[in-house]
Structure formats: structure tokens, C-alpha cells
Amino acid sequence: MILLFKILSKCFLVIFLTILTQLGGILYLITELVITRKTPFYRLKKILVFVLVYSLTTFFIIPNTAPLLGRIKIKDTPSITAHTLLTKICNRDYVTPDTYKVLTTVAKQLSHKYPSIKLVYLDANFPFIDGYPLFPHLSHNDGKKIDLSFIYKTTNEKLTNKKPGITGYGVFIPPPNNNNQTEYCKKKGYWQYDITRFFSLGNWNRKLILSEKATKDLLLLLSNQPMVRKIFIEPHLKQRLRISNTKIRFHGCQAVRHDDHIHIQL
């Protein structure tokens, strides 16, 4: 019974690491094969070897091999950055060259308009294999999609690069009572529509307020890029920001709500 539990727990860990990072499960299996029980202090060595191998693979090997298959790692610059280091650790920061070109162009335009503000991205795509799912997203599987954060301001009207939630997801802009898309979708049976509320890992900047002007400017900069095909936000935000651009649209009840981030795709 103990042996069965150990086997099942290791299988679960492999599956979890594969879903979370794409390559973590494979690297864990390699570590299991290399570090056997006969090795002195094998548990400690197994952890250290896995961390070392994973770090080398994630930060040195993958960034140099992914471009050979059509995807590149997003680099932090003075105008673009990841919201959390976890995105980089989990290999969720890869896009096609065209997508990267759009991001860097918009980031420069945004910083020109708002010098203190960076383009902050959330989940992008894994480095390898078109069609490989990036859980929990439905469509981040070809290097052409990425989530961006809204722009917020403090209570004294100062723009900030800080975000309400730790992960960037799950802290929503409340909809008006007469345009509650979440309530409508859930009544239709789409129970998952607001599931990202469980992924915020905490609201650490509760007093931040959506900057409607700066967020609208960001959306318009994105929509002005010829290669951008679709931009998803909640209908109540499009109405609130008074945007009529047809690229900016509703994503459908089968997805999750988008009043905590912007989704773009080429």
C-alpha cells in the first residue's frame, strides 16, 4: 500500500509539473532515474539535482533552442516586464517573433505616452509544440496569444506598475448590475466562467483603482497594430471605456471572464 502511494504521488507530481511548466515532468523523471535509493542522502541530492537541472534548462537551454522551432523568450526591458517571476520559472513567457514585435512596439509607444509605465504581461505560451495546452487557458497554444495586465492608479491618481493580485489574475473590475456577463454565463451553465478568482493567490494592493484613460490608450495602441487580430475584454469594460473598435470583443461564455486582464492574439 505504501509503495502504491509512492508511485501514485510521483505520477501526480510528473503530471502536475508537465501541466505547469511543459518540461518539468520530464526533468523530474530524469532525476528519478539518475538519483537512486542507493545514493547517500538521495532525497536531498534528488531535490538539489532537480532544481539545478531545471534551472539550467529553463534559463539557459530553452531560450537558445526555442527560436529554432519558432518561439522566443520575452525579455524584460525598461518598457516591458513580467508581472511575476513565476511566469518565467514556469516557461510561460514564449511567443512567436511577430507577437514579440507587436509587444515591443506597443511597449515603446506606451512608455512614450506614459514614461513611468511598463507593458506588464501575464501568461504567454510554452516554448515548444503548437497545440500543446497552457492550462487553464483555452487558446495559448501557438505562440500567438498573450495576456496583458490593465493599468492601475493609486488613490491619489498616480499611475503605477503595481497590480492588485499576486498572479495578475482573479481580481476583477466589478460589472454594473445591468451588464453582469458573469452572472449571465453562469446561469447558462458555464460554471468555470469566474474560476480564476481562485488563482489570484491574494489581493495585495486592494486600494489600486483601474486607470480608465491609460487602459483605454493601451487597448487602442494594441488595436492599431495590423497583426493583432482579436482583443478580449469583458463587454462592460468596453462599454465603460467607450471603445468601438471591432477587434476588441467578447470572448464567449466558454472561456473565463476578462475583467482582470487583456487577452490579445495575432
pLDDT, one tens digit per residue, over 5-43 is 777 888 899 899 999 999 999 999 999 888 877 777 778
Separation CA 85–CA 20 (nearest Å): 14
Helix (H, G, I), strand (E, B) or coil at 229: coil
Separation CA 151–CA 114 (nearest Å): 11
Radius of gyration from C-alpha coordinates of the chain: 20
Provide the pLDDT confidence category of residue 169 given band limits of 50, 70 and 90: very high
CA dihedral of residues 52, 122, 136, 223 (deg, nearest 10)? -140
Model confidence over 76-135: pLDDT tens digits?
A: 999 999 999 999 999 999 999 999 999 999 999 999 999 999 999 999 999 999 999 998
pTM of the model as a whole: 0.92
* Number of Cβ atoms within 10 Å of the Cβ of 124: 29
